[in-house]
């Protein structure tokens, strides 16, 4: 139920490039996070059965947090927040038979308290879910 497996992560360079392709994705921001997402509906129903409905990546720029320890902590906070709050979004995407790619980008110039990251993740995921339901993605 509260899992975040390797299969749910974006690892292919092709998937990352398609996510950040100009004009094909949407974004939502809630400090300290920004989420860039794209509907990547697959044409094969067999592929949808094996692939997860939502695939994500976490990114913290070296420009924002200079020390690797700090970048790793920020990514760990984002992963944990996503793991705890992604269930409703996943169910909404599955119900429509689509696949969604999301990139979470750290926007803050410093580290943030875990509670603030959790709240930002919750609001970003809710905003994406609402846009999906309204647009009928």
**DSSP of 52-115:** -SEEEEEE--TTT--SHHHHHHHHHHHHHHHHHH-HHHHHHHHHTT--EEEEEEE--SS---HH
- Average pLDDT (71-79) is 96
- Residue-wise pLDDT tens digits, 39-72: 876 554 445 567 888 999 999 999 999 999 999 9
Calculate the average pLDDT of the chain: 88
CATH class of domain segment(s) 8-135: alpha beta
Share of the chain above pLDDT 70, in %: 91
């Amino acid at each position: 139920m509260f899992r975040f497996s390797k299969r749910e992560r974006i690892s292919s360079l092709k998937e990352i490039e398609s996510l950040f392709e100009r004009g094909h994705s949407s974004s939502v921001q809630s400090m300290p996070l920004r989420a860039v997402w794209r509907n990547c509906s697959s044409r094969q129903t067999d592929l949808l059965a094996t692939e997860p409905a939502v695939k994500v990546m976490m990114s913290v720029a070296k420009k924002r947090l200079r020390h690797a320890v700090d970048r790793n902590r920020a990514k760990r906070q984002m992963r944990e927040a996503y793991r705890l709050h992604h269930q409703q979004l996943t169910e909404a995407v599955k119900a429509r038979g689509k696949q969604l790619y999301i990139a979470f980008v750290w926007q803050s110039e410093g580290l943030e308290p875990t509670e603030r990251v959790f709240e930002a993740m919750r609001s970003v995921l809710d905003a994406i879910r609402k846009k999906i339901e309204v647009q009928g993605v």
